Structure 1
Amino acid sequence: SFGILPLETPSPGDGSYLQNYTNSSSVIDVPSTGAPSKKTVSRISQAGTKSVFSQSGNSQEVTPILVAQTQSSGPQTSTPPQVLSPTIAALANALPRISSRLFTSDSFATKESSKKLKMKFPPKIPNRKTKSKTNKGRITQPNLNDSLEITKLDSSIISEGKISTVAPQIQAFTLQKAAAEGLMSLLRDMGKGYLALCSYNCKEAINILSHLPSHHYNTGWVLCQIGRAYFELAEYMQAERIFSEVRRIENYRVEGMEIYSTMLWHLQKDVALSVLSKDLTDMDKNSPEAWCAAGNCFSLQREHDIAIKFFQRAIQVDPNYAYAYTLLGHEFVFIEELDKALACFRNAIRVSPRHYNAWYGLGMIYYKQEKFTLAETHFQKALDINPQSSVLLCRIGVVQHALKKSEKALDTLNKAINIDPKNPLCKFHRASVLFANEKYKSALQELEELKQIVPKESLVYFLIGKVGK
C-alpha cells in the first residue's frame, strides 16, 4: 500500500466511523517491519509516528497498520506484513485525520486525537465542537447511544426548549379563550336587551343596548331595536332620529322599516314617508314591510281605499305577517267598516297571540260600539302583554270612567302619567274625570299644564271654558 485510502474507506464524518471507533476497546499492537523481534506500537496518535505518504495540501500523517501477531509459546518467526481489511484500515487511516487547514501544529493534532480517543468514556458535559458537520443537528443509527447520553446529560437545554415550544401554544389558547369569552359576553348582552324589548321593558332594553361597544352599537340591527323601544314608549321624535341613523348606515335595510313608517305617520311627516315607501318598494317588492310603508303613506293622505289595497298586498306577500292585519284593521275602522276590522284584528291575534296592537284594536271597536265591559277586557289583555304602555292605561281609565268607576279611573290615569308625564292624552282625560267629579280647581290646574304642552289644541281651551262657567 502506498498510503492511498481504499474506495470503501469511510470518512471520519461517516456513521460507521464513529461506530467502529466507539466500539473499539483496546489498542492495536503492530509489529515493526524492519526487525524480526516483535515490537509493539503504543497508541496510534503517538507523536513519534512517521508519515509514509503525504497528499498535497494536507500534512496529516497516515501510518500503515499491520496485523498484530499472536503470542505463542513456540519460536517466533518473522512473517510478512499483512494489509488490514478495508474496515480496519479505514479505522486506522481515519483516526488521525484532522484538518491541516485549521490546525497545522503537530502537537495540536495529537491533542485533538487524544480527545477523540477519550470520548469512548463520555464526559459529564460533552464537547459538541468535536461533532462533524454532516451529523450536526440530527441523530442517526450509528451514534444513537451517544445521542441518548447527551440527551440525559443536557436536560436543562431540553427543558428550555420545551418551554419555548409550549409557550406559544399556551399564549394562543389564552387568546382564543379571551376571544370566545368576549364574543359570548357580547351575545349575552344583546340577548338580554332583545329579551327586555320582547317583554316590553323598553327602558331597560334601551339601557342595555346603549352600553354595547360603539362598533356594535352603530349597526342597523341594534339601532332598529332601540328605535322600536322608543316607539313603544311613544317617544316618536327620539325614535325618528334613531331610524334616520339606520337609514344612513344601512340604506338597503328593509327589516323594521314598517315601524319607521308608522312612526312617521304619527309625526305627520308625509314627505319622508313618501320617500321611504318609494325606496322600499323599489328595493324589494316581495317584502311585506315595503307594502306596509306604502299603505301608511296613502293613509296619511286620507286615501284609505288605496291604503287598504296596499295592506292587503302585504298580507298576500306574507300571510303570517300580523302587523299587516293590524294596519288593515285600523283602516277599516277609519271608514267605519267595523265587522271587517274585527276580522282583521282576530286574524292578527291568530297569527301572533302576543301582538298587543290587535287586542288594543278590538278594545277600540268595542268602545265605539259602547260595549265597555268587553272593551275593558280587551284593553286589559293588551296591558298584560305590555304593562309599560301609558296609552293602554289611558284607554282603560277612560273605559272605567264610562263604567262609572271614577276613583278607579283616576288611579289608572295617575299610573299612566307616572309612566309618561308628558303624555297629553292622559292629562286631558284626567282633567275630564276631575271636571265630571266636580273637582274644578284640580281640573283647571291640570288644563293649565296641558296648555303649555299642546298650545294649539282646541279641546283644551273648550274644556277650560266649561270649567270657568
Structure 2
Amino acid sequence: EGGAKALCDVLRRLGDGYRHLQQYRGKEAIAAFEKLSASEGNTAWVQVQTGTAYFNMAQYQMAEQSFQKARKLEPSRVVGMELYSTVLWFLKKEHELCYLAQELVALDKTAPQTWCVLGNCFSVQREFETAIKFFQRAIQVCPSFTYAYTLAGHEHVSNEDFEKATASFRSSLRTDERHYNAWYGLAIIYLKQEKYQLAEYHLRRALAINPRNSVLYCYLGIVLLSAGSCFEALQVLQDAIDLDPANPLAKLRKAMALSHLDRNLEALEELEQLQQLAPRESMVYMQMGKILKKLGRLQEALACFNHAIDLDPKGGNAVKAQIDRLQMQDVEEDDSFL
C-alpha cells in the first residue's frame, strides 16, 4: 500500500508539471518537476519537459542545459530534439547543432524530428533553400508534425517569400491551432508588410496562448511603436523586460520609444543598462549617439558613433551619415522602429 501511494504521488507531480506545460505556465511546470526527488527527476522525459518550458519562455540558455541533461541520460532519444535544435539555433551554436544532426541521422532517418534538426543545421548556416527541403521532408514523413510547418514558414520569411510562408504557418495552425509560434510567424509577415493591425491581432492571439514569452511582448511593442501607439508600446515593452530583464531587444526598443517621446534622459539610462548586457552591440552605441545629439552633448555623441563603427565596420555607412549630420540640429532623425 505504501509503495502504491508513493507511486501515485510521483505520477501526480509529473501530471501537474505536464498540465502546466500544456497551458504554457512554464514557471509552474518547472516548479512541479523540481518537487520530484533527484532519482525521479533525473530522467530524460522530465528534462525534455523542463527544457520545453524554458524554451516556451524564450530562456534559451536554461533550456539548453535541460536538453543537454536529457541527451546524457538517454543518448538515443529523438523526441524533443527538434526544440533542442532550435535552442542551439538561437544561441548560434553551429558546431553543436551539426553534431546533433549527425547523431539523429544515425539514430532514426524516419523521424520527423531528425529532418527538422537537419533543417535547422542548414538554416543556421543561412542555406535557406536546403533547410526548407529538409523541413518539407519532415512533413512528408509525418504530415501531422506541426513544428515542421512552422520552421518551413520561418525559412520562407527569411527568403522574403511571404506567400509560401503564410501557407506554411496556416498549415501549422490547421494541425494545432494553439501553436503560438505559427501565430507569431504570421505576425512577423504582417509587420514586414507594415500591416500593423493584422500584426497586432496575430501577436495577441499568440500571447493569449503563451503569455509568459518576453519575445512575443517585445514584438507586440515594436508593432505598437510602428503604428504610433508609443504609450501603450512602452507598457508592453516593460512587460517584456519584467518577464526577462536580460532581453536586449526589449530594452533597445523601449529606449527608442522614450526618445521618440522626448524622454531622452530616461532613454539614455535604459541604453546605459543595456550597454552592460550587450557591450559589443553596435546598435546600442548608435542609439546612444542619437540621443546624446538630441541632448546637445555632441562630443559624447561622436564618441558613441565612432565606437559603433569600430564594433560593426560593415554597417559604418549609416553611422557615418549620423556623424555627417552631427552639427545639423534641425535635421529630423529616422525614428523607424523596424
TM category (shorter chain) comes to 0.7 to 0.9
Listed one character per residue, the Cα deviations across residues 334-363 of structure 1 (whole Å, up to 9, x for unaligned) are 111000000000000000000000000000
Match of 2:238 in 1: 414
Match of 2:135 in 1: 311
> CA separation in 1, counterparts of 2:153 and 2:28?
31
Residue of structure 2 in register with 1:262 after alignment: 86
- C-alpha deviation, 1:233, in angstroms: 2.0
Match of 2:190 among 366, 376, 391: 366
Matched, 1:330 2:154: yes
Q: Secondary structure at the match of 1:353?
A: coil
Map 1:33-432 onto structure 2 (within 5 A): 177-432=1-256
| In structure 2, C-alpha distance between the alignment counterparts of 1:353 and 1:421, rounded to whole Å | 30
> What secondary structure does 1:261 align onto?
helix
**Which residue is equivalent to 2:292?**
468
Q: Deviations over 1:162-193 (max 9, x none)?
A: xxxxxxxxxxxxxxx22221111111110100
Deviation at 1:433? 0.3
Match of 2:269 among 434, 439, 445: 445
Instruction: Compute the TM-score of the two structures, normalised by the length of structure 2.
Output: 0.85
SS at match of 1:223: helix
Unaligned runs of 5+ in 1: 1-176
- Partner residue in 2 for 1:106: none
Residue type at the aligned position of 2:141:
V
Moved more, 225-234 or 304-313: 225-234
How many angstroms apart in 1 are the aligned matches of 2:83 and 2:290? Answer: 39
Name the amino acid aligned to 1:319: P
Question: Higher relative contact order at CA 8 Å, sep ≥6: structure 1 or structure 2?
Answer: 2
Matched residue SS, 1:244: helix
- Could you tell me which runs of 5 or more consecutive residues in structure 2 were left unpaired when the two chains were aligned: 294-338
User: What is residue 333 of structure 2 aligned with on the other side?
Assistant: none
Task: Count residues with an aligned counterpart.
Answer: 293
TM, length-normalised to structure 1: 0.62
- The structural deviation recorded for 1:211 is 1.5
Matched with 2:304 is none
CA distance in structure 2 between the aligned counterparts of 1:466 and 1:250, rounded to whole angstroms? 52
* Residue in structure 2 matched with residue 33 of structure 1 by the alignment: none
Q: Letter of the 1:249 partner, please give it.
A: L
SS at match of 2:75: coil
Q: CA deviation at 1:458?
A: 0.8
Between the aligned partners of 2:268 and 2:167, the Cα distance in structure 1 is 42
Measure how far apart 1:238 and its partner are. 1.7
Task: Give the Cα–Cα distance (whole angstroms) in 1 for the partners of residues 199 and 56 of structure 2.
Answer: 21
For residues 179 and 396 of structure 1, the distance between their equivalents in structure 2, rounded to whole angstroms, comes to 50
The structure in which a higher percent of residues are helix is 2
- The C-alpha deviation readout for 1:44-83, integer Å capped at 9, x for no partner, is xxxxxxxxxxxxxxxxxxxxxxxxxxxxxxxxxxxxxxxx
Of structures 1 and 2, the larger Rg is shown by 1
Q: 1:17-28 alignment to 2 at 5 Å?
A: none
8 Å contact from structure 2 (residues 200, 223) kept in 1: yes
AA aligned to 2:21 is: L
2:328 matched to which residue of 1?
none
Partners of 1:351 and 1:234 lie apart in 2 by: 23
Take 1:402 and 1:304, find their aligned partners in 2: how far apart are those partners? 28
The answer on 1:457 being equivalent to 2:281 is: yes
- One-letter amino acid of the structure 2 residue matched with residue 374 of structure 1: L
* Structure 1 residue ranges (4+ consecutive) displaced by more than 6 angstroms after TM superposition: none
Conservation of the 8 A alpha-carbon contact between 2:56 and 2:210: no
Percent of aligned positions that are identical: 49
Per-residue CA deviations over 1:20-43 (Å, capped at 9, x if unaligned) read xxxxxxxxxxxxxxxxxxxxxxxx
Q: Whole-Å Cα distance in 2 between the matches of residues 236 and 464 of structure 1? A: 28
Determine the C-alpha separation between the residues in 1 that align with 2:58 and 2:183: 18
Q: Which residue of 1 aligns with 2:334?
A: none
Secondary structure of the corresponding residue to residue 354 of structure 1: coil
Give the residue type in structure 2 aligned to 1:380: R
Shift of 1:448: 0.4
Letter in 1 for 2:255: A
Query: Hey, what's the Cα distance between the residues in 2 that align with 1:433 and 1:194?
Result: 39
Tell me which amino acid in the other structure corresponds to 2:18: Y
